[in-house]
Amino acid sequence: MKKACGVVLALAALGAGTGLSVAADPVDADAAQALIKKSDCGKCHAVDKKKDGPAYKETAAKHKGKASAEDDLYKHLTTAPKIKIDGKEEEHKKVNSTNEAEVRNLVRYILSR
Ligand code: HEC
């Protein structure tokens, strides 16, 4: 009995120590940034600065609270929709990955900026 109590206390201490910051859908920021680099997205996007494309923060704000945000951006990054840059129509660059989990992680990274 005494031993079991000790285990419970130790677990409680552990939980307090880590702040229990476990989100529902944790974002792997390192993986997202690596994929951004690999896909050359930095040419037109930055987290908080507008380049040819909107800043990720701007995109996150625009889609905030929309239930379809993740699916919308997933589609944006995998289907090369037509966009306009300086009045010239071109296809948006596709993300350099066919792994859905990897791409969704990137989308959640952008949406959480
Ligand atoms: C040649 C420049 C260019 C490159 C490269 C590029 N983008 Fe974009 N991106 C744009 C432009 C311009 C827009 C705005 C399109 C619009 O609003 O019609 C945009 C829009 C977006 C949006 C917002 C879509 C929305 O519906 O709000 C996201 C997210 C995005 N890009 C992510 C990426 C990622 C991730 C990559 C790398 C795979 C990437 N972009 C590569 C120019 C680029």
Mean pLDDT for the chain overall: 87
Contact 36, 53 (CB under 8 A): no
Q: Where are the domains of the chain?
A: 25-111
What topology is assigned to 25-111 in CATH?
A: Cytochrome Bc1 Complex; Chain D, domain 2 (1.10.760)
* C-beta separation of 72 from 63 below 8 A: yes
**Contact call for residues 72 and 66 (beta carbons, < 8 A):** yes
Which whole number is the average pLDDT over 90-96? 98
User: Atom 21 in ligand 1: which residue has the minimum CA distance?
Assistant: 53
Q: What are phi and psi of 91, to 5 degrees?
A: -85, 135
Within 6 Å (CB) of ligand 1, which residues are found? 36, 39-41, 43-45, 52-54, 59, 62, 72-73, 76-77, 83, 85, 92-93, 95, 110
Residue of the nearest CA to atom 41 in ligand 1?
41
pLDDT digits (tens, 9 = 90+) for 12-54: 554 444 445 454 578 999 999 999 999 999 999 999 999 999 9
Percentage above 70 pLDDT, the chain = 78
Instruction: Write down the residue that tokens 């010239």 correspond to.
Output: 88
Residue 6 has pLDDT above 60, yes or no: no
Q: Whose CA is nearest to atom 35 of ligand 1?
A: 41
Amino acid symbol at 19: G
Please tell me the pTM assigned to this model.
0.84
